[in-house]
Amino acid sequence: MSISNQLKNQHLLWRAAFGPMAENVNELADVSQKKLYKILGKTSSKRPDDLNVATNAFDGLMKGVQDLGQMQKLTQEQKKQLRKQSVDDIKSLNLAWLNEMINSEAQLREKMSLFWHGHFASRVINIYFQQQLLNVIRQNALGNFGDLLREVSKSPSMLSFLNNQQNRKQHPNENFAREVMELFTMGRGNYTETDIREAARAYTGWGFNVKGEFVNRHFLHDTGNKTFLGKTGNFDGDDIIDIILEQKATAKFITQKIYKYFVNDEVDNEKVEKLAEKFYRDNYNLQKLMNEIFLSDWFYEEKNIGTRIKSPVELIVGVRRLIPMELEKPESQLLFQRVLGQILFYPPNVAGWPGGKNWIDSSTLMFRMRLPQILTNAEAFLIKPKDDDDTMMGMEGVDKNPKGNQLQANVDWDSVIKVFDKTTRENLPQKVNDIVLQTKDSISPNVLKRYVDNTSREGFIKSTIIELMSTPEYQLC
C-alpha cells in the first residue's frame, strides 16, 4: 500500500509516544517525520519533575524509625497500617504517572520510562522504594544505559525485590546477581553459573536503610578475589557492572529488546547487529540509539506499521489522548489495568510483562473492545475481580451494583469534532478511519452504517470514533 505522511507520523506517535492528541492530529498530514521527532526529542530533553505522592500518614508512621532493627520492633498493627498506607499511596503513584503519560509534553521520555518499568520490573509494597525507582527510571530513560543500570541496581526497590539485602560474605545470595545478568544486561548463554556465584560474592554488602538510602555495608562484603567473565580481582558490585558493560552481548541484548518493543516483535537480526554495534561504540547512549531507530526510513516500512498489540496502559492512555476527558473517579483506571493484565508497579514477576500476544485472551479482548464505550459513558460495566492478592488494590465491591457501574466522565467532544471541520460528510468515514486505526485495512462504511448515529454530523463523528475504537483493529499500533 502507499503509506501516507499522516499514517507515518501517527506510527511515530504510537511508538515513540502514546498516540496523537485531538488538538494536533490534523497537523500530521504535512509535517515531516524528522521534524515531528525533533519536537518529541526537544519536549523530552529537560529533567522531569519527580513524582512524589507519599502521604503525611506514611511519613508519620515512618517517623522515628531510624534503622531496620527498629522496623522489626513495630507492632503487627503498625506494620499492617504501614502496608495499607503504602498500597494506597502506590495506587496514587499509579494514577499520577498515568496522568503524566496522557498529558505530559515529554511523551518520548514517558514512553521510554514505561519500557524500562517493564525491563527493570520490581514489585515491593513500599511507596518510597517504588517512587524512588520510578524517578530514577524517568530521569535516566533517555540518558546513558550504564548510569541507569547502576542507579537501578543500587535502588532499595530492586535490592529488596531480588534479596540482596540478605547477601553477605560466607552466605552469598545469588538471586540479584543472576537477574542482573539474565534479565537486565546480557541474557542467557553469555555467562556461567560460576560467573553468577562470583558476581554474588562481589555484591555482598550492598543494601539499604529504612529511609531508602543505598548502603554499602563493608563488614558484610567478601574481600577475596573473584573471577568473573575471565577477569580476576577483588571486585565489588561496581566492578561487576563495569565488566558487564564491557561485553558486546549487553549492547546486543538491550538493543534487541528495544527493537522488539518499539519496532517489531519479528526481529531483523541484521538491523539489530548494526544498531547494537553503534550503541556499544556510543558508550550506551540511549538517545542516540532511539534517534537511529526513529529517524531511519526502514522504521516507516509497511511491515512495521499497525503490527504491534497495544499494552493495556498504551490502550487506556491512547484513548484518553485522542478523546480528552476528565474522569469523576480516576481510580476506575486501576480496575481497568487489573482486568486487562497490566497494573503499573505490580509486574507478574522480575521478567516483567511478556507483552505481544500474551496481552490478548478471550476475556481481555472482550473488555478491550468495550473500554472506549465505558470511558465515554456509552456503556455500563460489570466486573467481578478476584480478591486474593495484593493487586486487588482496594477495589473490592466494584461490582456490587447488579446492573453495572456507569463511569462518569466529562468528555471534551468539541475539540474532537473540530478535527473534522473541513471534512465533507461523504469523506467522514474514511477520515475518521485514517486517524483512529493504524492497520492497512479500513472498516467498510457500509458496515459502519449499521452501528453509528446518522441523525447528525456530530453524532456520526462521535459514534464512528467509538465504534472504530471498539474493533480488533484498534488493538494494534
What is the tens place of the pLDDT at every residue in 253-291?
999 999 999 999 999 999 999 999 999 999 999 999 999
- CB 261, CB 299: distance < 8 Å: no
Q: Give me the residues paired with residue 233 across strands.
A: 226
Q: Shortest CA distance to 428 belongs to which of 450, 445, 453?
A: 445
Mean pLDDT score of the chain: 91
Number of H helices, E strands in the chain: 22, 6
Quote the pLDDT of residue 136.
98
- CB 122, CB 133: distance < 8 Å: yes
Model confidence, pTM: 0.94
Quote the pLDDT of residue 350.
96
Residues 6+ apart with CB under 8 A from 42: none
Mean local confidence (pLDDT), 222-226? 97
Instruction: Give the integer Cα–Cα distance in Å for 159 and 162.
Output: 5
Quote the pLDDT of residue 449.
81
CB atoms within 10 A of CB 285: 17
Residues 6+ apart with CB under 8 A from 171: none
Quote the pLDDT of residue 356.
96
Residue 238 above 70 pLDDT? yes
Name the least confident of 87-101, 236-250, 254-268, 430-444. Answer: 430-444
Quote the pLDDT of residue 79.
80
Quote the pLDDT of residue 445.
81
Give the three-state DSSP class for 17.
coil
Q: Choose from 18-27, 208-217, 447-456 the range with maximum mean pLDDT.
A: 18-27
Residue 137 above 90 pLDDT? yes
Band of pLDDT at residue 55, cut at 50, 70 and 90 = low
